[in-house]
Amino acid sequence: MSFLADSLEHLVRGIVDNPDDVRVELVTTRRGRTLEIHVNPEDLGKVIGRGGRTATALRTVMAGIGGRGVRVDVVDTDH
């Protein structure tokens, strides 16, 4: 499954100002598996996109490469 996290991390790194701050984690909860995208707060807008367009594109690509049933979330936290 790590290829999903690695691919997603790569796709996100290419479209943000702070690629070194990008981290994708595969977490398992009772509701299923989720790929959590962590980015620099400055880059949140870029990863979500206008009207959520970019986040949707990331989900669509992940669904295509075998992540169907895996949620993709952009985590909105300052940690």
Partner 1 sequence: MSDTLQAPQDSEAQESQVDETTANTDADATEDDESEHESLLVREGDVAGDYLERLLDLLDYDGDIDLDVEAGRAVVSIDGGEDLEKLVGPRGNALEALQELTRLAVQQETGQRSRLMLDIAGWRADRRQELSDLGTATAQKVASSGEKARMQPMTPFERKIVHDAVAAVKGVYSESEGEEPKRFVVVFPE
Task: Report CA Rg, the chain.
Answer: 12
Cβ distance to partner 1 smaller for residue 32 or 60? 60
Least distance in Å: CB of 79 to partner 1?
24
Cβ distance to partner 1 smaller for residue 8 or 38? 8
Phi, psi (rounded to 5 degrees) for 70: -105, 125
Cα–Cα distance, 37 to 77 (Å, whole number): 11
Cβ distance to partner 1 smaller for residue 38 or 59? 59
DSSP state of 16: S
Least distance in Å: CB of 62 to partner 1?
9
Residues lying near partner 1 in the complex (CB under 8 A) are found at 3, 6-7, 10-11, 14-17, 46, 53-54, 56-58, 60-61, 63-66
